[in-house]
Amino acid sequence: MIKKLELTVQMLSPLWAAGAAGKCDRLHETGIIGSLRWWYEAIVRGLDGCYACDPASESRCELSGKEKSDEERRAKLCPACRLFGCGGWKRRFRLVAGAGSTEPFTLASLFYKNKSNEDEFNRWWLNEIFESNLADRLAFGKVTLTFIFPAGTDGEESLNQIKALLSVMAHCGSIGAKGQYGFGQFAWEGKTKLETALKDIQSFILGRQFKESKNENDWYSLEKFWYINIPLMDDNAQIKRFEKARLEQEKSIGPTTGKLYLPVSFDIRYKLKGGGKWSGLRQAYYQKQFEETNNDKKQTEKKTRLIFGGQWHEGSDQHRQGSRVFVSHPYKHGPGDENYKLRVWGFTDESVAEVVKKELQNIFGLNDTPEYTTGLSLIAKLQQKNREGYEHEV
């Protein structure tokens, strides 16, 4: 029997659902599916040493077509490939995404986007990522997601995995592409508790046979995960600066007439000006590395790019690393919501999270250092629950 999961999510920051051309002129499901798979892989890798392949690597799962039974086929697949498909094995669902209404909105930066005496990188970035993707090309508001599980494809269990996965993403991640730049924050009323969601994924994996192999150390994994969710009061001085900037044509991105606006993640992620001093998460991390390497600029640049993403050369080799730190735009739950929320998360050592915490306190003038939750603490809770459950059964 065909199974269906239909749900509506409320986008709290725009959904970036770019297609192959990189533009968001309609909702491309591939970007959403890509983000679902990415999160699923990371979660799986953190659970009891389970393996999830890197679909871009040589060692990705693949079926030869010579397998004789479904059992044999499944034993060659990691949980992510089993659900999302790979060579020789179909994805367990189809997704149809629609934006019911897209509301115009503005992003506010403290930088001037076209002033020639501004840092060229800032101008390039603001134009490339935001201005050239006009506001109405990004979905903001209600988005409907319909997951269709064809008959004979483990519909029920696949449906439960998607529910659990979306719940995790709603609690501490994002959906669609470019989460590191602030996109894809969403609210979903149907989400389950974070612990329940992780438990559902764990139960599925532990109860079945999958391909066994070793995860690479630098792959994104729940074991390296941490997240911070903090409220930011409407009268916060830094928020007020954004509010003011939003009314300046030269600083606002998108129509200045829109009722909705968000302070742009860019400034928080990279650098903020204020009181003759630079701040910002990348800037703070760079500064710390600079001190730790005894002012070695090259080493500092490399270390910073390993965490915040970028390219660098070593001899004749070119390296490229995606960001390991993700920063939301400060967002509200709706126009009636007085205060903002900010979500920052990463897949790094806790030392990076410590720098981020301190810098957030500094940027927003918070009384206390914000708390973070680590993937390791979530895993420990799951293990504790499993032990208790086992003792109960005995």
Interface positions with Zn ion (CB under 5 A) = 53, 61, 78, 81
| Smallest gap from residue 276 Cβ to Zn ion (A) | 51
How far, in Å, CA of 301 to CA of 286, rounded? 7
The least CB distance from residue 61 to Zn ion, in Å, is 3
Q: Supply the minimum distance, in Å, between the C-beta of residue 112 and Zn ion.
A: 46
- Neighbour count for residue 85 (Cβ, 10 Å): 18
In angstroms, give the least distance from the CB of 89 to Zn ion: 9
Please identify, using beta-carbon distances, which residue of 61 and 355 lies nearer to Zn ion.
61
Which lies closer to Zn ion via its Cβ, residue 44 or residue 360?
44
Compare residues 60 and 123 and give the one whose CB is closer to Zn ion: 60
Residue 40: burial class (beta carbons within 10 Å; 0-12, 13-18, 19+):
buried
Cβ nearer to Zn ion, comparing 61 with 228: 61
CA pair distance 124, 111, nearest whole angstrom: 11
CB 57 → Zn ion: shortest distance, Å?
10
Residue the block writes with tokens 């001899």: 315
* Residue 33 zone, left/alpha/beta (φ > 0; ψ -120 to 50; rest): alpha
In the complex, minimum distance from the CB of residue 345 to Zn ion, in angstroms, rounded to a whole number: 24
Nearer to Zn ion, 89 or 181 (CB): 89
* Strands annotated E in the chain: 3-11, 94-99, 105-108, 142-149, 186-187, 225-232, 252-253, 260-263, 272-274, 277-279, 310-314, 317-321, 325-327, 340-347, 373-374
Kindly tell me which of 28 and 76 has the beta carbon lying closer to Zn ion: 76
Strands 260-263 and 105-108: parallel
CA separation for the pair 78, 55 (Å, rounded): 10
Q: Which is nearer to Zn ion, 87 or 231 (CB)?
A: 87
Residue 77: CB minimum distance to Zn ion, A:
6
Using CA atoms, how far apart are residues 312 and 214, in angstroms rounded to an integer? 27
Question: Rounded to the nearest whole angstrom, what is the least distance from the CB of residue 78 to Zn ion in the complex?
Answer: 3
| Maximum C-alpha span of the chain | 72
Which CB, 129 or 201, lies closer to Zn ion? 201
Here the tokens at position 120 are 């060229």
Per DSSP bridges, beta strands 105-108 and 310-314 are: unpaired
